[in-house]
Chain A
Amino acid sequence: MSPTASSSVSRLLPWWLLFIALYQGTALAAEPPDSMGQRMQACATCHGKEGRATNSGYFPRIAGKPAGYLYNQLINFRDGRRQNATMAYLLDHMSDQYLMEIAKHFASLDLPYPPAQTTKAPAATLARGEQLVRHGDASLGVPACASCHGAAMTGVAPAMPGLLGLPHDYLLGQLGAWRTGMRRASLPDCMGEITRRLSPQDVVAVATWLSSQPVKRGLPVGSLPAQPTMECGSGFR
């Protein structure tokens, strides 16, 4: 080796060391974290980063929903009480234990909500929707949504879901699916009962009002002030 070459190597040595250190640093950073968030990346393409879907489009937010509710839904997708080919395919070969861990993971996320969506809907629709949500309609035998889902409509632990911060299309789709029996829950299936008592216009009104409400704090409350009037197969388990 010529003296010049040798001196250029020694002159470049610190740079080489820096390069190697940086390279190794990136290689170490590249190892994926051993976390549930990382394991659940498959959910992010539809339900949004960390499960907080935007309120446009169809996919529901799952972050911050009660764990019991999320678990029941995962089981319902796997066992055919809810129909969604993608969900069924993804969950088909999962143990109940893992489904519970997934449910608890998303339930534990307390993240900001997107802005309200259908605020410019016709006043009459919003008024009818608010009436049904807050007070129900005794003449139709429909209890207030709030009587089970909580006065703030953010759900009740362990398994009653919140109804705010969801896309209008999703709410409409679900209420319609309850009505036609496409979406079911463990018996007694109270949501099936209630939605069949509602007219299509009432379904639209409820979905529109719910998606027009801004959400500041979306976490479920611990308990209801009064015993719900209808018995539900899955809401409180």
Chain B
Amino acid sequence: MKVLRLRLAKTLAVIMVVCLGGFVCLEWIKDQEVPSIDDRPFNEALAPQVAQRGAYLVQVGNCAACHTARGGFPFAGGKGIDTSFGTVFTSNITSDKLTGIGAWSAADFWQAMHHGRSRDGRLLYPAFPYTEYTRITRDDTDAMFAYLLSVQPVQQTNRPHALKFPYNTQAALAVWRALFFSPEPFEPLKQQSDEWNRGSYLVKGLGHCQACHAPRNVFGATQSKLGLSGGLIPMQNWYAPSLSSPVEAGLQDWPMEDIMQLFKTGKTAHSSTLGPMAEVVFSSTQHLNQKDLRAIAHFLKELPRQENAKEDRKLSTTEGQQIGQSLYLNQCAQCHGDHGEGRGDYPALAGNRTVIMNSSVNLVRIILSGGFAPTTEGNPRPYGMPPFGHTLSDSEVTAVATYVRNAWGHKAGAVMPLDVQKTR
């Protein structure tokens, strides 16, 4: 009986593997046929005007954030993007004919953006977020391409990726694409307004908000069905909070003006951006025109509400709270107030979503690393939060983080020393 059951299980397993293999093969074959690309003529005469629009789109898409290395030439690539599979180095997208994309056609560029394939047909790594860029229209990719052709050429050979086997093979990429990617044009919803649709287009396409704000599975694929429900940014130890949940970073209950102000200036009267979002505001959203800013705010404000499951956390202890409180009063209260009420530019911690949300990653990260909101036209001289990583021990950070999560009526549970160690 036992033997029979074992044999049955084995047979089932074999059938499943064969089915999965078959599915992957079929998808792979489908992926190999490069769909006929509309190689429409690229009007050189119109290029300067188009390029101006392209410059705006390239800025909104924040291409430079990845394609410019620290201290490197703009758009010449070479920046390492750390992933759990190894490091992907960004490519040179200047107009250099030999090492950049100067010899590409507008159709080649579209193929990269929409299909995730390079000019030579090579499959691209999804660290380049073509999983989102696939929704950008051909008109927009043409404009972006026209702008990039106007960027000063820089001769700099692309650095090969440093990925572990088997992730360094095209076969692995083909399997990944079979499972997690299909080119998909943006479909506006008829029942929604033009403004909402514009916001949706920018958030889901060019803005590639999902690259951080959506959870990723073990294969590193963003789970688009879960929308913008929050995700841990791989290797960076920052949590991109859920935009669907008003108890995380959801904007459903905010006035439109506040949402727009946050994207434009990096700060409102009751909140500010730090870490990766400070970068997004600094390089991208502060440059949004008023119409696009409003469209994005509108779309995000109307995102369906959805709360994440609560993490199971230990409760704080009275003794722990006392230790945390004395640390808080010595180190934090001078700026954030004795009762977490905030002072001037220093945000209130009482009722602060970063303090009380499920994930304590950002709270711990901010205590350890501090930081400044980005400098923007609306906030040109930001105040800073000191990094406490080298003055407070793991247990002290644990105590003070737990204290603020459970003081002033909060009931957000304890932070564990392991949470702090993981973030250091």
Contacts and interface: CB of A to CB of B under 8 A. Distances in A.
Interface string A81-122: 100001011101111011001000000000000000000000
B409 interface: no
B282 A45 contact: no
A97 to B, nearest CB: 7
Contact of B374 (A36, A86, A93): A93
Contact of A41 (B343, B371, B383): B383
B384 A90 contact: yes
A180 to B, nearest CB: 18
Contact of A32 (B69, B281, B335): B335
A92 B279 contact: yes
Contacts of A38: 383
B150 interface: no
A104 B387 CA distance: 22
A151 interface: no
A171 to B, nearest CB: 20
B326 to A, nearest CB: 18
B369 A45 contact: no
B386 A44 contact: yes
B370 A39 contact: no
Contact of B375 (A34, A42, A81, A95): A95
Interface residues of B, number: 33
27 contacts: A30-B337, A32-B345, A32-B383, A36-B381, A39-B381, A41-B383, A42-B372, A43-B386, A44-B386, A45-B370, A45-B388, A46-B390, A78-B71, A80-B71, A81-B71, A89-B371, A90-B372, A90-B384, A92-B279, A93-B278, A93-B281, A93-B374, A93-B375, A94-B374, A94-B375, A98-B382, A101-B381
Contacts of A101: 381
Given A30-B343, A39-B384, A79 B70 contact: yes
B71 A32 contact: no
B263 interface: no
Contact of B391 (A45, A86, A94): A45
A157 to B, nearest CB: 24
A39 B344 CA distance: 12
Interface in A21-60: 30-32, 34, 36, 38-46
Interface string B258-298: 00000000000000000000110111000000000000000
Contacts of A95: 375, 380
B384 A40 contact: yes
B292 to A, nearest CB: 21
Nearest to B335: A32
* Size class of the contact patch on chain A: 20 to 34
B344 A93 contact: no
B145 interface: no
Nearest to A85: B369
B346 interface: yes
Interface in B53-102: 69-71
Interface in B376-402: 380-391
A89 B384 contact: no
B404 to A, nearest CB: 18
Contacts of B384: 39-43, 90
Contact of A79 (B71, B337, B390): B71
A43 to B, nearest CB: 7
B368 to A, nearest CB: 10
Given A32-B344, A45-B391, A89 B383 contact: no
A38 B344 CA distance: 11
Contacts of A92: 278-279, 282
Most buried by A among B337, B384, B387, B389: B384
Given A32-B344, A42-B370, A45-B388, A93 B383 contact: no
A77 to B, nearest CB: 10
A227 B268 CA distance: 51
Nearest to B392: A45
A175 B273 CA distance: 37
A90 B387 contact: yes
Contact of B370 (A34, A78, A79, A90): A90
A82 B70 CA distance: 11
Contact of B386 (A41, A89, A93): A41
Nearest to A98: B375
Most buried by B among A36, A43, A78, A95: A95
Most buried by B among A34, A88, A94, A95: A94
A41 B386 CA distance: 6
Given A32-B346, A79-B70, A93-B282, A98 B387 contact: no
Contacts of A97: 375, 380
A40 B69 CA distance: 27
Given A42-B384, A93-B372, 6 more contacts: A31-B344, A39-B381, A39-B383, A86-B369, A86-B387, A92-B282
A79 B70 CA distance: 5
A39 B381 CA distance: 8
A86 B370 CA distance: 9
B387 A45 contact: yes
A42 B367 CA distance: 11
Contacts of B388: 45
A36 to B, nearest CB: 8
A38 B381 CA distance: 11
Contacts of B335: 32, 41
B279 to A, nearest CB: 6
Going nearest first, the 10 A-B pairs with the smallest beta carbon separation are A42-B384, A79-B71, A93-B374, A80-B71, A93-B282, A80-B70, A45-B386, A95-B375, A42-B386, A32-B344
